[in-house]
């Protein structure tokens, strides 16, 4: 794939804008965003913008979706002004959003019937890492569309791991990863609560823990979540992951405790 590939980035939110900015340094990028202020920000970064997915995708070789949820994914692809109204036949669609394995498997089947391949590639790492190409991306996709989109994914990722050949496999692995992350955050929160009860300065403890050999699993990221007192977005993801576990009859007791206790801030401000 040469760097003259044309990528349509659909969604310029917290992750979409830095990903579009990163990609524009190597490829031709046209972005879609309904919000005029965000389009102006993208234009300031040298990115061409359109107000509908169809207009952004009409010359695209690859589409990258960076939207919030399943409803936005379906509207962006199949709506009256959606991607499929103009996308050239056979062009692959990359989904970077986290919406769950079952919806993505159904989405992959629907796209396949229309003649398009889905590359399931949920991302982790946050906006700052997106802008520098330091994301963690797990992929579920067949070989051909993965080969076609690999240069795009590698532009965004410092760690790119193929976990399966089916759309939905990336989402499934992301569920596993979120479970592990949640347990680490809960453990970090308990440790900070203990430090407070022992009259230690929490800010000193948070700064020191990642540098202590026995505490290396307390990453700066997990500790930052503790400081934010369990933000609602992570609790929402925890509940979503519990739902996925129930679908396959897997019990995750640590996650159940995490969700139950999350609303009472582990680390009061």
Q: What is the mean pLDDT of the chain?
A: 85
pLDDT higher for 228 or 12?
A: 12
Residue 126, pLDDT above cutoff 50: yes
Q: Write down the pLDDT at residue 7.
A: 98
- For residue 144, give Cα distances in angstroms to 113, 130, 137: 17, 25, 18
Catalytic residue among 43, 58, 88, 174: 174
Domain ranges of the chain: 6-166, 172-261
Q: Please report, to the nearest 10 degrees, the dihedral formed by the alpha carbons of residues 267, 217, 185, 183 taken in order.
A: -140
Q: Write down the pLDDT at residue 217.
A: 55
Beta strands in the chain (DSSP E): 6-10, 28-32, 48-50, 62-65, 93-95, 118-120, 123-124, 135-140, 157-164
Q: What band does 229 get if pLDDT is binned at 50, 70 and 90?
A: very low
pLDDT higher for 225 or 23?
A: 23
Q: What band does 240 get if pLDDT is binned at 50, 70 and 90?
A: low
Q: Which of 163, 116, 129 is nearest to 8 (CA)?
A: 116
Q: Write down the pLDDT at residue 231.
A: 46
Q: Class assignment of domain 6-166?
A: alpha beta
pLDDT digits 0-9 by tens, 52-87: 999 999 999 999 999 999 999 999 999 999 999 999
pLDDT digits 0-9 by tens, 2-35: 578 999 999 999 999 999 999 999 999 999 999 9
Q: CA 248 to CA 233: how far, in whole Å?
A: 24
Is position 88 annotated as part of the catalytic site?
A: no
pLDDT digits 0-9 by tens, 32-50: 999 999 999 999 999 999 9
Q: What band does 239 get if pLDDT is binned at 50, 70 and 90?
A: low
**Do 33 and 16 touch, CB atoms closer than 8 A?**
yes
Cα 23 from chain centre: 16
pLDDT digits 0-9 by tens, 138-197: 999 999 999 999 999 999 999 999 999 999 999 999 999 888 877 877 888 888 889 999
């Amino acid at each position: 794939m040469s760097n003259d590939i044309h990528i349509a980035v659909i969604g310029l939110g917290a992750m979409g804008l830095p990903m579009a900015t990163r990609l524009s340094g190597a490829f031709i990028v046209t972005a879609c965003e309904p919000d005029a202020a965000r389009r102006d920000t993208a234009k300031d970064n040298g990115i061409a913008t359109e107000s509908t997915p169809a207009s952004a995708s009409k010359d695209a070789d690859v589409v990258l979706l960076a939207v919030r949820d399943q409803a936005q994914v379906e509207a962006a692809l199949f709506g009256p002004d959606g991607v499929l109204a103009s996308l050239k036949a056979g062009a692959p669609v990359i989904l970077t959003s986290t919406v769950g394995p079952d919806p993505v498997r159904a989405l992959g089947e629907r796209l396949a019937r229309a003649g398009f391949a889905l590359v399931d590639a949920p991302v982790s790492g946050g906006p700052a890492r997106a802008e520098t190409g330091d994301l963690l991306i797990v992929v579920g996709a067949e070989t051909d569309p993965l080969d076609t989109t690999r240069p795009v994914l590698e532009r965004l990722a410092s760690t790119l791991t193929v976990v399966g050949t089916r759309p939905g496999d990336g989402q499934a692995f992301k569920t596993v990863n979120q479970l592990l992350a949640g347990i680490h955050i809960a453990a970090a929160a308990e440790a900070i609560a203990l430090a407070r009860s022992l009259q230690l300065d929490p800010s000193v403890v948070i700064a020191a823990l990642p540098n202590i050999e026995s505490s290396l699993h307390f990453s700066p990221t997990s500790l930052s979540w503790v400081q934010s007192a369990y933000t609602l977005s992570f609790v929402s993801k925890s509940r979503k992951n519990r739902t996925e576990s129930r679908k396959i009859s897997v019990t995750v007791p640590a996650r159940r405790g995490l969700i139950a206790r999350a609303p009472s801030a582990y680390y009061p401000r």
